[in-house]
Amino acid sequence: MNRKTKQILGRVSSIALLAVLSLFINFYRNTPDSETPLETSKRADIVEVHFIDVGQGDAILIEANDATMLIDAGENNKGKIVADYLESQHITKLDYVIGTHPHSDHIGGMDTVLNEFEIDKIIMPSATHTTDTFEDLLDAIKENDLKITRAAVGDQYNLGSATFTIIAPNSPQYEDLNNYSVVIKLTFGNTSFLFTGDAGKMSEEEMLSSGIDLSADVLKLAHHGSAYSSSGAFLDAVNPTYAMINVGKDNDYGHPHAETLQAMLDRNIKVYRTDEQGTVVFTSDGKNISVNTHDYKILENDLKN
């Protein structure tokens, strides 16, 4: 056999090998079992919580079976980011929209969402604010024929096979607008999530003395990790495994504050933050919770103010 024949034979046998391989691959690809269930099971009995990266502000999408909820929608100029994200999740309708409190980093983008999606119920606290941003939201509520459902502590709602309960605000009036934040606890099977808006220590004290079970696996840290929220007593009562911080890079407030991150370290709570990790998604099957990214390793520098 000369060299040329050998080369040709070698080529022919590797082509034959490839052909056999691709036959195998196609065979397994076309086996119906390996293909179908993924998309349907996602909608079956799983809850997904998407902490959408909107810079400094909050926007949280919750999908439970086919039911959907949006908590806050970021600043005025972030409405499109939120709407695009919802579209990427094939959402056309929201069963609930919660505007936690009237600050622009929470309700700024909400008018865009109300105008672009079909909304079933919008829940807000009994608080007003004399800003154009808040007026825009009220206009959008009116134009879309929606009626505000006032957040009332103890009210419980179904979201697919999950439920959520309103646990704050507990007082009719506050000096600090942040304390009006609607706080909800979402429960799915044995797992739970606590969403706190920008509730401050005063609201936390009220939740603590109300005697309600605050324990949750995942805590959305209040007020972007500010030290004016997340008191030790509150954190101990919630006793979360995971803490989520929705926060913008190099924000003007120094969020998240060093004290808050130190409190996470002291309690061995796994931290996730949108400024470092972008959008973070938690998934619960009712028993276990998984996260689409690793936790954030707190640095020495994070612990200095």
Residues that bind Zn ion (CB under 5 A): 105, 198
Whole-number minimum distance, CB 103 to Zn ion, in Å? 5
Q: Which is nearer to Zn ion, 95 or 105 (CB)?
A: 105
Contact 58, 72 (CB under 8 A): yes
Q: Are strands 280-284 and 242-245 parallel, antiparallel or unpaired?
A: unpaired
Q: Which is nearer to Zn ion, 105 or 204 (CB)?
A: 105
Whole-number minimum distance, CB 284 to Zn ion, in Å? 25
Whole-number minimum distance, CB 106 to Zn ion, in Å? 5
Whole-number minimum distance, CB 37 to Zn ion, in Å? 40
Whole-number minimum distance, CB 100 to Zn ion, in Å? 8
Q: Which is nearer to Zn ion, 198 or 302 (CB)?
A: 198
Q: Which is nearer to Zn ion, 162 or 184 (CB)?
A: 184
